[in-house]
Structure 1
Amino acid sequence: MELMEGSEERNRAVVMSVAKFNHGVPLGKRPGANRDAKSLHRSLSKLGFKVDLHSDLSSEEIYQLFSEESKRPVKDCFLAVLSSHGEEGCVFGADGEPVWLSRIFTYFDNACMEKKTKLFLIQACRGEALDDGVEVDSCQQPPDGNFSHYFSIPVDTAVMFATAPGYGAFMNFCGSIFLQTFCSLLEEEGYSGLELTRLMTRLCHRVAYTFEAKGRQYDGKKEMPCLLTRLTRDVFPFADMGKDSNAARISATSLIASGNVRTRIASLS
């Protein structure tokens, strides 16, 4: 995983996905997780990211992975993807044990990651409620204390959840609507050069308005991603420096002046 000798520091992405849980763990397989990982590797590599993929790690292995990654050098932006079954505040390792997001976030509050853009994409359920397309404010309030991970998010960090608090996130054998849409936007003309919060807004819009689950259990259900940010500047982590002359003058941490509905047979992430 080390950078080649003589190479420049690069933006880095670490994709951790659990597709298959250990024997005896009462959590279903996630057949689309591997397809998501491949799509992320393709899309991010094209944009100059060094992408490392990790599959079916235990909870302790996930903690160890991100503890080590938080101490490695990065050019401007570090992107982490955690894809598994989950509940509010955690995702599950392949051993079925919870991985608390608050602990992962605190690893990146260090000198090595200071002034670097940190982006976390969380593909996991945050509860059992299903979205009928009503306002997010109508969701059931999670139990007290389940928002503790919000307060552990470091400065210059954005966290994008696949779904709102209390709700389920969808995935099938083709992958998750959240991560597949993210990859599609990065590969479409004009989107990778957007400022990060604008790109995430377009991701929210596309998932919310162009996806609708189908199938006997989930027919008509929707999904609404949720963005949390402690960014202190406009950032452009996916700008293609070779194509956009304006992008060539800014880094991922630069401060600058001021269809049709798709349906899928889905299962919960």
Structure 2
Amino acid sequence: MLQWRGLRDHRGECNRAVLVSVGEFDPGVRLERRPGANKDTKSLHHTLSKLGFKVDIHSDLSGDEIYELFEKESRRPVKDCFLAVLSSHGEEGCVFGADGKPVRLSQIFKYFDHESMEGKAKVFLIQACRGDGLDDGVEVDSADDSRECIFSPHHSVPVDTAVMYATAPGYGAFMHPLGSVFLQTFCTLLKEDANRNLELTRLMTRLSHRVAYTFQAKGRLLGGKKEMPCLLTRLTREVFPLGSRPRRCSVLIT
């Protein structure tokens, strides 16, 4: 059992969250701007900070800058948990930097597969399309060219890592000027008392249920369309996001 405690330990280490959001793309890049990206970032920063995470925000990075950031972050100390959010246009296996360059999720995950991250919970939230299952207008985070992004990242996910995608393979993820249904629902759940002692996989199950059964797209073209998040986990222990239990954390090997 691993509890995510927000306070620093005696070594000065704390749980960390890194938010990478691409809302504006470089001139000449044929990807629509994402007007709800800043709303998501603000909500996540507020919610995760209140849970005791040290939150770093990075906006509109290029593909290479995203790679460089996560390679560096994977070597920094963390107490119990590292949480990352990647929000951009995407296709299966990748998200896009502000320069339109595809960033392979498999490479991002591999950065965290090393000794200093052993025994730490690693959680990734991916707000991006994974295909063109929905029309690729301004309401969805999709892209036109998927030729470089057909590689599946699943085999590269390290032990003690959970990856929660906004949508299932092959489908689009909805974005609204007020924020994405996936990330906004995640923040809402973490604010509710009933969810504060849930183990991570149970929390993500509630997230999937709420997105799938309470959200429905509106409008002439996409009216009635739904979104179904997808969880990939290689966790070997129970993880409690709010770490509110009084005893010190222990690890349950399964």
TM-score under structure 2 normalisation? 0.88
Cα shift at 1:63: 0.2
Query: Is the CA contact 1:212–1:222 (under 8 Å) kept in the aligned structure 2?
Result: yes
Alignment coverage as a number of residue pairs: 235
Q: Could you report, residue by residue, the CA deviation over 1:144-200 in whole angstroms, capped at 9, with x for unpaired residues? A: x94531000000000000000000000111000000000000001121321000000
Match of 2:130 among 122, 126, 133: 126
> Is 1:70 aligned to residue 66 of structure 2?
no
Query: Is the CA contact 2:92–2:152 (under 8 Å) kept in the aligned structure 1?
Result: no
> Is 1:230 aligned to residue 231 of structure 2?
no
Cα shift at 1:254: 3.1
Distance 2:248 2:132 in 1: 42
Distance 1:19 1:192 in 2: 30
Distance 1:248 1:217 in 2: 51
Q: Could you report, residue by residue, the CA deviation over 1:72-105 in whole angstroms, capped at 9, with x for unpaired residues? A: 0000000000000000000000000100000000
Structural mapping, 1:192-207, within 5 Å: 192-207=196-211
Structural mapping, 1:44-123, within 5 Å: 44-123=48-127
Distance 2:152 2:220 in 1: 36
- More off after superposition, 47-56 vs 7-16: 7-16
Distance 1:193 1:71 in 2: 29
Distance 1:179 1:63 in 2: 22
Distance 1:149 1:238 in 2: 28
Cα shift at 1:256: 8.4
Cα shift at 1:27: 0.2
Distance 2:108 2:196 in 1: 26
- In structure 1, the gaps of 5 or more residues are 132-141, 242-246, 258-269
Match of 1:34 among 6, 17, 38: 38
Code of the residue aligned with 1:236 in structure 2: it is F
Query: Is the CA contact 1:63–1:99 (under 8 Å) kept in the aligned structure 2?
Result: yes
Q: Could you report, residue by residue, the CA deviation over 1:20-62 in whole angstroms, capped at 9, with x for unpaired residues? A: 0000000000010011000000000000000000000000000
Task: Provide closer, same or farther for how the CA distance between residues 250 and 228 of structure 1 changes in structure 2, counting only shifts above 3 A.
Answer: farther
More contact order relative to length (CA 8 Å, sep ≥ 6): 2
Task: Provide closer, same or farther for how the CA distance between residues 20 and 189 of structure 1 changes in structure 2, counting only shifts above 3 A.
Answer: same
> Is 1:219 aligned to residue 223 of structure 2?
yes
Distance 2:129 2:63 in 1: 17
